[in-house]
Amino acid sequence: MSKELILVLGGARAGKSAFAQGLAQAMGQRVLCVATAQAGDEEMRRRIQRHRQRRPSAWRVVEEPLAIAQALTSFLDATDVALIDCLTVWVSNLLLAALPGGVVQGFRQTEVAEKTVSRAVEELLVCYREGPASFVVVSNEVGMGVVPEYPLGRLYRDCLGRANQQVAAQADKVYYLVAGLAVDWKSLGPVSPPADRGEPREGGQGHDPNRR
């Protein structure tokens, strides 16, 4: 069977990880799980432990907060499916590593951080394209709520949104989950952008800037 790149998106507690695990189990026997979370506090330690308990014991697990593409390389020849869980935490890790003290101090620093995240995501996609394994990538949709109050929150929202777009553009399937229910957005078919209203149309009139 040919390999696939699949993106699994959704909000918090939408059932993304469970759905992605089910996909990975169905796609191959040799599953490699790449976990990006770090146990920075007790709450995160409990979350990590729950994820560990839900994974099949036969799966190999690599815990890597930053250099995912490099960590994957040595395993892919013996892997059917690589499950990356999740892009959400990974982008946060990359941003904090790129920003001294985790503080946004100006446009130049913001630009460097954005490019750091974009390059890392592209390295992951190159790893997929050049390797033999399917990838299932889990990520959150964080751009549909209130605009974050602080610069770091806004930068994170923007970087994660762009990272999701990078992966989705190359993905074979993009599942969006709500309350545990998934829809494959790519199966709905492409949508062309609307026609430029300034272009003259056959049998009609061109755009009149004085018309209201």
The residues annotated with a catalytic role in the active site are 51
Sign of CA dihedral 78, 84, 89, 91: positive
Report yes or no: 166 and 122 within 8 Å, Cβ to Cβ: yes
d(CA 162, CA 2): 27
Q: What angle do CA 73, 76, 80 make, to 5 degrees?
A: 155
| Spatial CA neighbour of 153 closest among 92, 100, 112 | 92
d(CA 140, CA 162): 12
Q: What angle do CA 187, 16, 133 make, to 5 degrees?
A: 70
| Three-class secondary structure of residue 90 per DSSP | helix
| Three-class secondary structure of residue 69 per DSSP | helix
Q: Cα dist. 67→88, 94, 96, 137 in Å?
A: 15, 9, 14, 15
| Spatial CA neighbour of 21 closest among 10, 39, 8 | 8
